[in-house]
Amino acid sequence: MGTSTPRTFVVAVNNTKVVQDNFFSSACLRSNHPHQVILQEGWASASLAYNDAIERSQNDVIVFAHQDIILPEQWTSDLDRALHGLESSDPNWGVIGCYGETLADNGRGYIYSSGLGLLGQPFEQPAPVQTLDEIVLILRKGSGIRFDPGLPHFHLYGTDICMRAESMGKRNYVIPAFCIHNTRQPLVLPTEFYECHRRIRRIWWDRLPIRSTCLTITRSNVWLYRRRINELLLEYVKRKQVGGHRRDDVPGLIEEVNGLLERRRCDGSSAQEWKQTAAPLSKLTIE
CB 73 within 8 A of CB 1: yes
The model's pLDDT over 51-97, given as tens digits with 9 standing for 90+, comes to 999 999 999 999 999 999 999 999 999 999 999 999 999 999 999 99
Give the pLDDT confidence score for residue 176 in this predicted structure. Answer: 98
The model's pLDDT over 18-34, given as tens digits with 9 standing for 90+, comes to 999 999 999 999 888 99
d(CA 186, CA 252): 22
Domain 8-286 has CATH 3.40.50.720: no
**Mean pLDDT of the 182-199 span:** 92
**Mean pLDDT of the 36-61 span:** 98
Q: Is 85 exposed, middle or buried (0-12, 13-18, 19+ CB in 10 A)?
A: middle
The model's pLDDT over 137-174, given as tens digits with 9 standing for 90+, comes to 999 999 999 999 999 999 999 999 999 999 999 999 99
- For the cut 60, the answer to whether the pLDDT of residue 251 exceeds it is yes
- For the cut 80, the answer to whether the pLDDT of residue 281 exceeds it is no
Rounded to 10 degrees, the C-alpha dihedral 160/162/163/164 comes to 90
d(CA 87, CA 144): 17
Give the pLDDT confidence score for residue 287 in this predicted structure. Answer: 20
**Mean pLDDT of the 118-132 span:** 95
For CA atoms 129, 134, 138, 144, the dihedral sign is positive
pLDDT band at 268 (very low <50, low <70, confident <90, very high): low
The model's pLDDT over 208-231, given as tens digits with 9 standing for 90+, comes to 999 999 889 999 999 899 988 998
What pTM does this model have?
0.90
